[in-house]
Amino acid sequence: MANGVALLAVGDEMLSGLRSDTNCSWLASRLHDAGVPVRGIQVLPDDEDVILETVAGWVGKVEFLVLSGGLGPTHDDRTRFALARYLGVPFRQDDPTYDRIVARYEEPLRSRVEASRVPQALIPEGARGLPNPQGSALGIAFSARGTEVFSFPGVPWEFRAMAETFFLPRIEARGTWKQVVVAGWPESLLAEKFEGLFSKPGLHVSILPSPGLVTLVFRGSPEDVTSAVARVRGELPSDCLEEGETEMPVAVVARSARAGLTLACAESCTGGLVGAAITDVPGASRVFQGTAVCYSNEAKIRLLGVKPGTLENHGAVSEECALEMAAGARGLFGSDLSVAVTGIAGPEGGTREKPVGTVWFAVSGPKTVKAFKRSLAGDRAHIRRWSAAIALEILWRTLKEG
């Protein structure tokens, strides 16, 4: 019986090195989390014969075949034509599904989308047209020889939206797997703490670190998975995101909304990364008032009310400055809670007393006013990413404290 998934990325630009495939690697990660084996990932040229031959080689050997790319309106988009040739059928024009897409747009974009109806609405006879929630090209789905085939546009945000809508629900309903997201623990210490659990026979554990978070994915029998999740949550009650929350910005917005508290930020070295992460979350406007990116000392004084004497005596990267920045943001935006970040991201600016990677954080709220320092390693981008992650974590922990 066919099992597993094969992933195909279509596009000359990936074979030439002009672009990198991100769609298949992203989907492979999601499939790994769900315990579904990926049997192969291939990058193919915009060539009907190659696409046809590759599809024919996988159909019947895997349970699912997912293609990325080649569904647009230009001459080099050949995937739909290869699929029609594989099925040996003519095209039909799926106007009802395409009409739903056209209706989303206003002029002048509507006319451009309408002009691309052919070929973007063409579907092989007997296949299903899948509405694209982020773009205009329809997806295509059909079954052949025990393999379910899904073909999605290659634009990354379109591919991910369609995979999450039409494909991943088919996968996630099949097996028993759950995940727990833990904040504030290094991967190595977490693995050490739960060494016996992670090595339990029959339980497969994936440890996926990211700045400030470690995601634990458990796969196995329902009893083993449920027990593992309960143990981690039971031993780390203050460090686990709520069930269903996989990212810290989402957890911050959700907890802030539940508490009825508003948020603001004061950012120096992060340059707006904290505010950007929060506003990436749908519904953030319910709680987020704004962020003040005050890079220069003058901006800190003028916008946040940092005292000139504080900067002269302690410097911009100091406990005193961070506390005044947090208080200033809270007053500027009229928020209930604020967080401030000020540090040296490098590669220049460090001193013996304050080397590159020195970052001060502060939080100001109705019940909490505190600051702390972290010494971070890595290049400029790494220090900035980690600083933003730590700022989000302190917001989350402060909100949890009530």
Cα of 152 vs its chain's centroid, Å: 19
Omega before residue 124 within 30° of 0, cis: no
Tell me the sheet residues that pair with 10.
44
Q: Please tell me the predicted confidence (pLDDT) of residue 37.
A: 85
Q: What is the C-alpha to C-alpha distance for residues 402 and 399, in angstroms, rounded to an integer?
A: 5
Q: Please tell me the predicted confidence (pLDDT) of residue 171.
A: 82
Q: What is the C-alpha to C-alpha distance for residues 140 and 151, in angstroms, rounded to an integer?
A: 5
Express each pLDDT in 160-204 by its tens digit.
999 999 999 888 766 678 889 999 999 999 999 999 999 999 888
Q: Tokens for 328?
A: 């200033």
CB 387 within 8 A of CB 394: no
Q: Which of 283, 317, 299, 348 is nearest to 291 (CA)?
A: 299
Q: Tokens for 91?
A: 């095209």
Q: Which of 151, 156, 116 is nearest to 136 (CA)?
A: 116
Tell me the sheet residues that pair with 283.
none
Tell me the sheet residues that pair with 207.
216
Which residue ranges of the chain lie beneath pLDDT 50?
Answer: 1
Hey, what domains does the chain have and what are their CATH numbers?
5-172 (3.40.980.10), 177-235 (3.30.70), 257-401 (3.90.950.20)
Question: Full-prediction pTM beyond 0.85?
Answer: no
Q: What is the C-alpha to C-alpha distance for residues 400 and 254, in angstroms, rounded to an integer?
A: 11
Q: Please tell me the predicted confidence (pLDDT) of residue 3.
A: 79
**Eight-class DSSP state of 163:** I
Q: Please tell me the predicted confidence (pLDDT) of residue 1.
A: 42
Tell me the backbone φ, ψ of residue 249, rounded to 5 degrees: -60, -40
